[in-house]
Amino acid sequence: MAGHSAPSVLGFALVGLAMSLIPAACAQESTVNFRHLRELTETIAFAGDSVDIVHVYSNYPDYQWFDAADAGVEGTACVDDAARAAVLYLRHYELEGDNRSLGEARRLLKFVLGMQTADGMFYNFVHRDHTINTTGRTSSKSFGWWAARATWALGTGYRVFLAVDPPFAAKLGEALDRCLPHVSALLQRDGEISTTDGYRIPHWLLYESGADATSELLLGLTEYASARNDRAILQMIQRLANGLMVMQDGSATQQPYGLHRSWETMWHMWGNSQTEFLADAGKRFHDSTMISSAKREAEGFYSRLLIDGFEKEFDVTRKDSVVRFEQIAYAVRPMAVGLIRLFEATKNRQYLIMAGLTASWLFGDNAAGVPMYDPTTGRGYDGVRDSTTINRNSGAESTIEALMTILEVQHTDGGSHYFNFKKQRIAHTEEWRSALYVNPNGEEVSVAINTRSGKLVVLENQESRAFQNTLR
């Protein structure tokens, strides 16, 4: 049977909750360029304050602002993008001490605050005249995807501003407290599990089994709980984390190789931040069960994505359901940053190398062989459409997610060294699945999974060459 038993109650420890800063140890000049993101940003009068919004789309070739209309008339800017941009700027402030980024995060957070309703839910879009879209399917008042991202920003903002502006942090905390009853409502179904084709589906996550959206909600709750040392919120995190881990299946040798499903029996690469959350929370709260779950996905499934190539989505119950394209930066960030968080939690360098190789997708190691981030303009391109074509539009989501990936990876001990590696060869033998990555200087990395034992190996240079010789 593909499912597994529900995880036991996690033992959270209320010690060491403050997140230490990652040392700025990148060996090269920063490739993070905020120019395009700032071109997408507009300061407006909104909800009685001066706030920043981020325009959703920016299209090739002139990269002017372009409104969203994927689901009818949506709007010009949204909580989704403002929230993730706020997290990016907050992390940039923490890692590089840039006060301009702190100010930009503050103005974006004020927009997020203005989009929250009195009952703790959120609208998503504003129209071009800066009125709120209250009726659109992707904007109406709810506690779902945009609320999850808002919570991520509010929780991160609360922790950061607590040290530099306690009154503003208090406003963010009050807004996040209004979200907590909705989290409690989810947990009223804690323990309810159904089964589809042998796969266990928990019903106490967002959208009943939305582990993807819930993972980003949990990123914010973890930040908030860390700053407040709040046992009640920790218990909420614990119970939601259990639900995420019910959605994990397989092992390094058994399909689907330890991946965390996104929703019901579907997996998709974008927004699947479970390993990022589990590794981070496991480190902060000293919980080995969470870290083990993150390792299981990294070693069994992320290794295969690095070896065989990224995928967009598939249904775990159908072998013929794999869709490879379109591939986007919002799929790369959860994997790359998840591996960074796992490296921080375990100090195992193989995860750092894997994170750098994942981020190399942005620098041309992708199916189209084209860079998806331009460091001279700061544009993150909107997607790899197929093996020969990319989408050269540069909207807010792709730009922010690209910048967040690069920022986090380059602020580790040597992660950016792997940005310019490219996959040269894939080999499948009776015992190994492996990929060889090489950079322009001739340095190489082998990523391989033993299909019998499930052992992951990440080897560099001489060790890599020796391993590759055994495959010939």
Q: What is the pLDDT at residue 133?
A: 97
Give exposure, 395-417, as e/b (b: 16+ Cβ within 10 Å). Answer: bbbbbbbbbbbbbbbbbbeebbb
Q: State the alpha helices, DSSP H only, in 247-298.
A: 274-284, 288-297
Q: How far apart are CA 460 and CA 441, in angstroms?
A: 13
For the entire predicted model, the pTM comes to 0.93
The angle subtended at Cα 94 by Cα 342 and Cα 56, nearest 5°, is 85
Residue 19: per-residue pLDDT? 33
- pLDDT by residue, tens only, the chain of 472 residues: 333 333 333 333 333 333 333 333 333 468 999 999 999 999 999 999 999 999 999 999 999 998 888 766 799 999 999 999 999 999 999 999 999 999 999 999 999 999 999 999 999 999 999 999 999 999 999 999 999 999 999 999 999 999 999 999 999 999 999 999 999 999 999 999 999 999 999 999 999 999 999 999 999 999 999 999 999 999 999 999 999 999 999 999 999 999 999 999 999 999 999 999 999 999 999 999 999 999 999 999 999 999 999 999 999 999 899 999 999 999 999 999 999 999 999 999 999 999 999 999 999 999 999 999 999 999 999 999 999 999 999 999 999 999 999 999 999 989 999 999 999 999 999 999 999 999 999 999 999 999 999 999 999 999 999 999 999 8
Closest CA to 84 of 405, 395, 397: 397
Which tokens go with 397?
């989501």
- Secondary structure letter of residue 265 according to DSSP: T
Q: Compute the C-alpha angle 179/328/337, nearest 5°.
A: 60
**Sign, CA torsion 267/345/438/378:** positive
Strands 49-54 and 57-59: unpaired
CA atoms within 13 A on the CB side of 427: 19
Confidence (pLDDT) at 309: 98
Yes or no: say if 178 and 184 are a contact pair by the CB < 8 Å rule.
Answer: no
- 323, 314 contact by CB (below 8 A): yes
Which helix (H) or strand (E) segment is 336 a member of? helix 329-346
pLDDT at 29: 67
Kindly list the domain boundaries of the chain, sorted by start residue: 35-420, 421-472
| pLDDT reported for residue 66 | 86
Helix, strand or coil, per DSSP, at residue 115: coil
pLDDT at 69: 83
Find the largest Cα–Cα distance for the chain.
68
35-420 folds as Glycosyltransferase (1.50.10)
Cis peptide leading into residue 42 (ω within 30°): no
Enter the DSSP assignment of 9: P
Coil/strand/helix, residue 95: helix
